[in-house]
């Protein structure tokens, strides 16, 4: 839903799996019976995963320009589920066009209110800062209440996680052979991926321009500093790895 606009909300229930674990049902109040999904014992209308995501993307397109999606503790769970779902139905690229990035209010709360007593769960923050209780673990109520909680935070000048960050762990895996051979550290591989480069980009630059061209690519100036690293030895180690493959 849009911050400050509870009327412009989006919610869909997706066709359920054959089984929902009891602990999950305990938290979400969702159960399955004979292929139908129930919320608190009441049958709900469901759609396919693909249709739900297509309609969500359509909803995001209704806003002026790419959206910033905000959630609480989303980097631990929600964004991973979203990426996997979008990839399953080949809608990731279409989704990326509608979304500027993500903000996790858990990380924001920890940064702006360090060492606060009581913890950082959304329900606790809502009770402490807004002096109210709400229907936690109901997705729509979670979203509406989080929108109110966002008025407590300073959201200006915060670094966004981009849609490409969602698939970063999968892309980093492609660099694993270099990591295994000590040609690249895990941290440096992550930096390369977050810069928007893939293993194919790196390899093609080395093959066409050599180590100097690769160094120029990795050290390219951006407003935040070098694209990846200005250290020549980073490009050199990668080049030596590719040399050994010849």
Specify the pLDDT at position 124.
94
What does pLDDT average to over the chain? 89
In whole angstroms, give the CA distance from residue 3 to residue 150.
8
| CB crowding 206-242: b at 16 or more within 10 Å, else e | beeeebebbbebbbeeeeeeebbbeeeebbebbbebb
To the nearest 10 degrees (0 to 180), the angle between helices 163-173 and 78-88 is 80
Specify the pLDDT at position 157.
66
pLDDT at 70 over 90: yes
Specify the pLDDT at position 4.
54
Specify the pLDDT at position 3.
59
Query: Residue 237 — pLDDT band, cuts 50, 70, 90?
Result: very high
pLDDT, tens digit (0-9, with 9 covering 90-100), for 90-104: 999 899 999 999 999
Q: Which residues contact 30 (CB under 8 A, 6 or more apart)?
A: 16, 20, 24, 37, 38, 39
Q: E-assigned strands of 56-112?
A: 67-71, 99-104
pLDDT, tens digit (0-9, with 9 covering 90-100), for 110-134: 999 998 988 999 999 999 999 998 8
Q: Sign of torsion, CA 13 8 95 141? A: negative
Mean pLDDT of all residues in 55-76: 92
């Amino acid at each position: 839903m849009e911050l400050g606009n509870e009327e412009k909300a989006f919610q869909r229930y997706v066709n359920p799996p054959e089984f929902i674990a009891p602990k999950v049902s305990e938290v979400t109040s969702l159960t399955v019976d004979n292929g139908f999904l129930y919320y608190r014992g009441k049958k709900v209308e469901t759609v396919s995963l693909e249709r739900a995501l297509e309609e969500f993307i359509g909803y995001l397109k209704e806003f002026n320009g790419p959206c910033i999606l905000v959630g609480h503790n989303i980097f631990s769970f929600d964004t991973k589920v979203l990426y996997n779902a979008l990839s399953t139905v080949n809608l990731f690229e279409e989704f990326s066009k509608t979304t500027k990035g993500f903000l996790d209010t858990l990380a924001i709360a920890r940064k702006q209110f360090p060492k606060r007593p009581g913890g950082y769960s959304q329900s606790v923050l809502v009770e402490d800062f807004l002096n109210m209780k709400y229907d936690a673990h109901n997705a729509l109520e979670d979203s509406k209440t989080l929108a109110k909680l966002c008025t407590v935070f300073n959201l200006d000048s915060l670094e966004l996680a981009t849609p490409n960050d969602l698939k970063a762990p999968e892309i980093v895996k492609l660099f694993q052979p270099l990591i295994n051979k000590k040609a690249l550290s895990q941290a440096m591989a992550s930096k390369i991926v977050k810069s928007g480069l893939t293993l194919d980009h790196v390899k093609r630059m080395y093959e066409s321009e050599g180590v100097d061209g690769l160094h120029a690519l990795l050290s390219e100036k951006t407003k935040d500093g070098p694209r990846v690293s200005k250290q020549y030895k980073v490009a050199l180690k990668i080049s030596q790895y590719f040399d050994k493959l010849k």
